[in-house]
């Protein structure tokens, strides 16, 4: 089962992707992990990607897909995998679809975790993290015992730049312009399933597992 996870930043697709991978014994694959692994190992593809990254340029879709296909060709992906964070655009989806088709393959399921923007903004702007021990909190859903202080180590909690309201608004704008069209793309391919991501995390996962 080859699965693509879709959803806005903060919708919880990364968390659900990991849970799917664990339950069904499938590799959880993110492009960030692939880039880091290839750079660390100094592979030919990794060195090509490094040239673009060192120049401050985006890695081309064709090279990103090449790195991805190299990863999914490994033995642990024989029974499928969960793609998290790729594709992000229609262009990337087209390259992936064409590349998989060449080996008689295709995406089996695209899971869209649907969460309205106002929910995303509440979720992300309330996040806090401990710079010392890494413990995560939420001002509304998972607050520390003492406001602004880590329960575990007593350090002052911080709000990451990524979670600041103005940054969240920009990320959502990019999502709607570039990534949201993938919902229609995979719907036309007949593999899209949409899940209500506003429910509690365990209920969302139960709805996902009901698809299998």
**Catalytic (active site) residue 160:** yes
| 171 carries an active-site annotation | yes
**Which residue do the tokens 């695209």 mark?**
110
Catalytic hit among 2, 13, 71, 123: 13
Ranges of the chain with pLDDT below 70: none
Q: Which of 18, 50, 164, 171 is catalytic?
A: 171
What does DSSP assign to residue 11? S
Is 13 marked active-site? yes
Its pTM stands at 0.83
Contact assessment for residue 83 and residue 4, using Cβ atoms and an 8 Å cutoff: yes
Domain spanning 2-26+79-116+169-209: CATH superfamily: P-loop containing nucleotide triphosphate hydrolases (3.40.50.300)
Q: What is the pLDDT, as a whole number, of residue 54?
A: 82
Burial of 112 (0-12, 13-18, 19+ CB in 10 A): buried
Say how far residue 188 (Cα) sits from the centre of its chain: 22
**Catalytic residue, candidates 88, 122, 164, 199:** 88
122 classed as catalytic: no
Q: What is the pLDDT of residue 95?
A: 87
Helix, strand or coil, per DSSP, at residue 152: coil
Q: Closest Cα partner for 187 from 117, 115, 109, 113?
A: 109
């Amino acid at each position: 089962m080859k699965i693509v996870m879709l959803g806005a930043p903060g919708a919880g697709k990364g968390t659900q992707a990991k849970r799917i991978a664990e339950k069904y014994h499938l590799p959880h694959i993110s492009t960030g992990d692939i880039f880091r692994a290839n750079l660390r190992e100094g592979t030919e593809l990794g060195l090509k990607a490094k040239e673009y990254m060192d120049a401050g340029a985006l890695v081309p879709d064709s090279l990103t897909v090449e790195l991805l296909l190299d990863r999914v060709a490994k033995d642990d992906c024989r029974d499928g995998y969960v793609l998290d964070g790729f594709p992000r655009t229609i262009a990337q989806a087209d390259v992936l679809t064409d590349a998989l088709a060449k080996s008689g393959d295709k995406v089996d399921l695209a899971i869209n975790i649907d969460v309205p923007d106002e929910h995303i903004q509440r979720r992300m702007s309330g996040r806090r993290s401990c710079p010392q021990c890494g413990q995560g909190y939420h001002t509304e859903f998972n607050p520390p015992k003492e406001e602004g202080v880590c329960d575990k180590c007593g350090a002052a909690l911080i709000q990451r730049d990524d979670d600041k309201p103005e940054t969240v608004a920009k990320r959502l704008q990019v999502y709607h312009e570039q990534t949201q069209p993938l919902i229609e793309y995979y719907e036309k391919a007949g593999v899209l399933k949409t899940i209500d991501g506003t429910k509690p995390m365990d209920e969302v996962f139960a709805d996902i597992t009901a698809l299998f």
